Amino acid sequence: MKLTLKIWRQENAKAKGAMKTYQIDGIDGDMSFLEMLDVLNEDLINKGEVPVEFDHDCREGICGSCSLQINGEPHGPDRLVTTCQLHMRKFNDGDTITIEPFRATAFPVITDLIVDRTAFDRIQQAGGYISVNTSGNTVDANAIPIEKQNADDSFYAATCIGCGACVAACKNASAMLFTSAKVSQFALLPQGEVEATERVQNMVRQMDLEGFGNCTNTGACEIECPKGISLENIARMNREYLSAVSKG
């Protein structure tokens, strides 16, 4: 198929960016969206132009590197997939596709379609862990039985890949879904309970410091999340937070 691409080009963090239009031909429905961009870049290199920079790595939907706001939606029109697993069969011959970086104050653009998501790392560093040494000198793994439902819910929260689609989807650029997924993973496990009071407060404090907005329950994050992380996690984090604050 033949496509028109409108792509955000920006030389570096300080430069002023702009949309640029490209024509591309010979795109096959079985290609992934990123393979389509590979074709564009190969073209650009052959023409002596600078290729489009975008983050990507595993290309199987799990590393969370790829991002891209495609036609206004994080990871494009398909549901429950990252951009690397979005296939061109979802588009039609002659389509115009707009490709922008994820937009949020806390995710400044580095170049072209690449944004800086280290704010997410700093939220995790503020408390996204259980303070246990890695010496291996701990109790047997089966010493504490965990109810299957809780273990499963904890797992579902932990499947967050940290891509930032939730932030890009939110009109407030809120990171509540991301932060609450980590808080929930630990809140649902007995191992995580010990530090629950501190953890939620520290992570929320860092989240606010990074300049993410607040949650107004529009639910856009849940719809756009490639891993289907549920809004329930935000509710759980709010409960955890309130109970932590009231404990003082």
Partner 1 sequence: MSELKSNIPEGPLADKWTKHKNDINLVNPANKRNIDVIVVGTGLAGGSAAATLAELGYNVKTFCYQDSPRRAHSIAAQGGINAAKNYQGDGDSNYRLFYDTVKGGDYRSREANVYRLAEVSSNIIDQCVAQGVPFAREYGGLLDNRSFGGVLVSRTFYAKGQTGQQLLLGAYSAMNRQINRGKIQPFNRHEMLDLVLVDGKARGIIARDLVTGEIERHSAHAVVLASGGYGNVFFLSTNAMGSNVMAAWRAHRRGAYFANPCYTQIHPTCIPVSGDHQSKLTLMSESLRNDGRIWVPKKKEDAEAIRAGKLKPTELKEEDRDYYLERRYPAFGNLVPRDVASRAAKERCDAGFGVNKTGEAVYLDFKSAIIRYGKEEALIHGNHNPTDQEVYDYGKKVVENKYGNLFQMYEKIVDEDPYKTPMMIYPAVHYTMGGLWVDYNLQTTIPGCYAAGEANFSDHGANRLGASALMQGLADGYFVLPYTIGDYLSKDIRTGKIPTDSPEFDQAEKDVRDRMTKLMSGKGTHSVDYYHKRLGKIMWNKCGMSRNAKELQEAMDEIAELRKDFWENVKVPGTIDSKNAELEKAGRVADFLELGELFAKDALTRNESCGGHFREEYQTPEGEALRDDENFSFVSAWEYNANPREAKLHKEQLTFENIEVKTRSYK
Residue 148 in tokens: 């299957």
- The contact pattern for partner 1, residues 189-228, with x = CB under 8 A and - = no contact, is x-xx------------------------------------
**Residue 60 binds to partner 1 (criterion: CB under 8 A):** yes
Q: Kindly state whether residue 141 participates in binding partner 1, applying the rule CB under 8 A.
A: yes
Under DSSP, is residue 147 helix (H, G, I), strand (E, B) or coil?
coil
Q: x/- site string to partner 1, residues 80 to 119, per CB under 8 A?
A: xx---x-x-x--------------------xx--x-xxx-
The 61-80 contact track toward partner 1, x by CB under 8 A, reads: xxxxx------------x-x
Closest to partner 1 by CB, 215 or 237: 237
15 binds partner 1 (CB under 8 A): no
In the bound state with partner 1, the residue whose beta carbon lies nearer, of 162 and 213, is 162
What ranges in the chain are assigned the alpha helix state H?
33-46, 118-125, 148-158, 165-169, 176-187, 190-193, 196-209, 220-224, 232-247
Alpha-carbon gap, residue 184 to 129, rounded angstroms: 12
Nearest alpha-carbon partner for 101 in 218, 7, 219:
7
Indicate the helix (H) or strand (E) that contains 116: none
Find the binding residues for partner 1 in span 173-192 (CB under 8 A).
Answer: 185-186, 189, 191-192
d(CA 180, CA 222): 12
